[in-house]
Structure 1
Amino acid sequence: MLQILQIVLPVFLVIGAGYFAAYFKFFTEDQASAMMRFATQFAIPCLLFNALVNLDLAKEFHPNILVPFYVGAFFSFAVVWLGAGLIFKHTPGARVAIGFAGLFSNLVLIGLSIIELAYGMEASKTAIAIIAMHAPFCYILGIVSMEFSRADGLGLGETLKSVVKQVFSNTLMIGIMLGFIVNLGQIAVPVSISTALNLIATSALPVALFSLGALLISYRLRSGIGEVSMVSVSKLILHPVIAYLIGRFVFDLPPELLNPMVIMAAMPPGMNVYIFANIYDRAKGIAASSILVSTVLSVVTISVWLVILE
Structure 2
Amino acid sequence: MGIGEIFIILIPIFFVIILGYMAGNFNVFDKESSKGINTLVTKFALPAHLFVGVTTTPRDVLLAQWPFMIALILGIFVFYFVVFLVTKFGFKFNLSNAAMFSLNSAQPTFAFMGIPVLGSLFGAEAVAVPIAVTGIVVNALLDPTATIMGTIAQREKAENENMVRVVAKTFAHGLREPLALVPLIAVILTLLGFHAPGLLADSFNEIGDVTSGVALFAVGVTVGIRKVSFNIPAFSIAFLKTIVQPALMFLIAWAMGSPLKTQQC
Are the equivalent residues in 2 in contact too, given 1:79–1:234 (CA < 8 A)?
Answer: no
The aligned length equals 258
Are the equivalent residues in 1 in contact too, given 2:24–2:225 (CA < 8 A)?
Answer: no
CA displacement at 1:173 relative to structure 2: 2.2
State the Cα RMSD in Å.
2.9
Choose from 217, 242, 248 the match for 1:236: 242
Name which of structure 1's ranges 12-21 and 156-165 shifts more when overlaid on structure 2. Answer: 156-165
CA displacement at 1:79 relative to structure 2: 4.1
CA 82–64 in structure 1, closer or farther in 2 if over 3 Å, else same? same
User: Is 1:245 paired with 2:248?
Assistant: no
CA 146–33 in structure 1, closer or farther in 2 if over 3 Å, else same? closer
User: Is 1:227 paired with 2:227?
Assistant: no
Q: C-alpha distance in 2, partners of 1:94/1:211?
A: 27
CA displacement at 1:240 relative to structure 2: 0.7
Are the equivalent residues in 2 in contact too, given 1:96–1:142 (CA < 8 A)?
Answer: yes
- Residue 3 of structure 1 is matched in structure 2 by 5
Q: C-alpha distance in 1, partners of 2:225/2:187?
A: 36
- Residue 128 of structure 1 is matched in structure 2 by 131
CA 254–18 in structure 1, closer or farther in 2 if over 3 Å, else same? same
CA 81–215 in structure 1, closer or farther in 2 if over 3 Å, else same? same
- Residue 25 of structure 2 is matched in structure 1 by 23
Q: C-alpha distance in 1, partners of 2:72/2:192?
A: 28
Q: Please give the per-residue CA displacement for 1:104-128, whole angstroms capped at 9, x wherever unaligned.
A: 1111320222222112245314523
Q: Please give the per-residue CA displacement for 1:130-187, whole angstroms capped at 9, x wherever unaligned.
A: 3243222312432343344542435432222332333123122232234235434555
Are the equivalent residues in 2 in contact too, given 1:143–1:162 (CA < 8 A)?
Answer: no
- Residue 207 of structure 2 is matched in structure 1 by 200
- Residue 119 of structure 2 is matched in structure 1 by 116
Q: C-alpha distance in 1, partners of 2:77/2:186?
A: 26
- Residue 304 of structure 1 is matched in structure 2 by none
Q: C-alpha distance in 2, partners of 1:247/1:102?
A: 19
Equivalent position amino acid for 2:71 in 1: P
- Residue 254 of structure 1 is matched in structure 2 by 259
Choose from 160, 179, 188 the match for 1:172: 179
Are the equivalent residues in 2 in contact too, given 1:60–1:125 (CA < 8 A)?
Answer: no
Name which of structure 1's ranges 15-24 and 177-186 shifts more when overlaid on structure 2. Answer: 177-186
- Residue 147 of structure 2 is matched in structure 1 by 143
Are the equivalent residues in 1 in contact too, given 2:58–2:195 (CA < 8 A)?
Answer: no
Q: C-alpha distance in 2, partners of 1:184/1:64?
A: 16
User: Is 1:105 paired with 2:114?
Assistant: no
Name which of structure 1's ranges 206-215 and 71-80 shifts more when overlaid on structure 2. Answer: 71-80
Q: C-alpha distance in 2, partners of 1:12/1:24?
A: 18
Q: C-alpha distance in 2, partners of 1:189/1:55?
A: 9
Q: Please give the per-residue CA displacement for 1:9-49, whole angstroms capped at 9, x wherever unaligned.
A: 32232122101121123333333322222222111111111
Structure 1: runs of 5+ lacking an equivalent:
260-307
